[in-house]
Amino acid sequence: MGGAIAKALLLEAKNSITVGAPRAPHLSVSASQKKRLSWLTDNREVARKAEVVIIAVKPNLAEEVLRELAPELKKQLVISVAAGLTLASMVKWSGGYKRIVRTIPNLPAQVLEGLTVWKAAAGVTQADKKKTAAVLASFGGEIEVKRERMIDWAVVSGSSPAFVAAFMESLARVAVKGGFSQKQARQLALQSVFGATCYIAKTGVDFGELKKAVQTKGGATEAAFKVLNDKKWQQALESGLIAAKNRCQQMGK
C-alpha cells in the first residue's frame, strides 16, 4: 500500500517523496518521477525533512516506528494506513503527538480507484484535514468520519475486493460450465460487474430497487434469487462483514 500511495503522489509534479525503508523501493515510475523520489534507511531523517509522514507498515511494526519517530515530530502531519491501530495508541507511542490521522484504505488504491475512510485526532487542524483529503484523493475517494469506531466498520470497503472477486469467480465458473473459454468467462464476469457498477453510479438507482427490477416475475433472475434467499446468502455475507469488523477491533487492542 505504501508503494501505491507513493506512485499516486508522484503523479503530481509538485510532490517529492522520500521513502524510509531498509531496502531501496522498486516502483515502476517514469524518469521524471524518479527524480522526485529518494530513499533513506533512517526513518528519523525522513521525518525531519517531511511535511507529511505516512506510516505504511504492518500493524505489528507501527509501535516501534512511531516511538522511533517521536523525537522528530514537531509540525508534521502523520497519516497512518496501518490496519487496526487506534488513535489513542498512536498518540501514546508518538510521545503524545496529536497531529495524527487514522485511515483504512483498500486495494483498488493501487490503480487509483481506492476508497479511504479516515478520522483525525484532536490536534489535527482544518488545514491538516484539507491536506489529508488531498493526499487520500490522489489514489481514489475519501470519507472523513466523526466517530473513530466507524473506522472498524469501514472494513466493509477494505475487505470488499475479496468479496467482489468471489462473486466474479462464481460467475466465471458457471460460464465455463456453459461452454465459454476461461478468457471469455473472465471477460463476462469483469464486464458484468463493471457495467452494473457504472449503471448504478450514473442512474443513482437504489440497490434494493435495482435488485427487484431485474427479477422479472417467473424469470431467470427470480429463480436464482429463490435459491440464494433460501440459503440466506445476504445474511451470511453481512455476518461475515461484522466478523471482519470485530477482528479489526481486536487488532487494535
The domain limits of the chain are 2-152, 158-251
Q: Please report the pLDDT score of residue 3 as a whole number.
A: 87
How much is the pTM?
0.84
Question: In this structure, what C-alpha cell is assigned to residue 109?
Answer: 488504491
208 contacts: CB under 8 Å, gap ≥ 6: none
Is a pLDDT exceeding 80 seen at residue 155?
yes
Which tens digits make up the pLDDT trace of 125-145?
999 999 999 999 999 999 999
The helix or strand, by DSSP H or E, that contains position 158, with its residue range, turns out to be helix 155-158
Q: Let me know how long the chain is.
A: 253
85 contacts: CB under 8 Å, gap ≥ 6: 59, 62, 102, 251, 252
Please give the average per-residue pLDDT across 225-246, as a whole number.
Answer: 93
158-251: CATH topology: ProC C-terminal domain-like fold (1.10.3730)
Crossing angle (nearest 10°) for helices 233-251 and 220-230:
50
Q: Which CATH class is domain 2-152?
A: alpha beta
Which tens digits make up the pLDDT trace of 140-149?
999 999 999 9
Which tens digits make up the pLDDT trace of 103-131?
999 889 988 999 999 999 999 999 999 99
Q: What residues pair up with 117 in beta bridges, in sequence order?
A: 104, 143
In one-letter notation, the amino acid at residue 156 is V
Nearest to 129 by CA among 114, 113, 145, 140: 145
User: Rounded mean pLDDT of the chain?
Assistant: 93
d(C-alpha 180, C-alpha 98), whole Å:
56
Is a pLDDT exceeding 70 seen at residue 253?
no
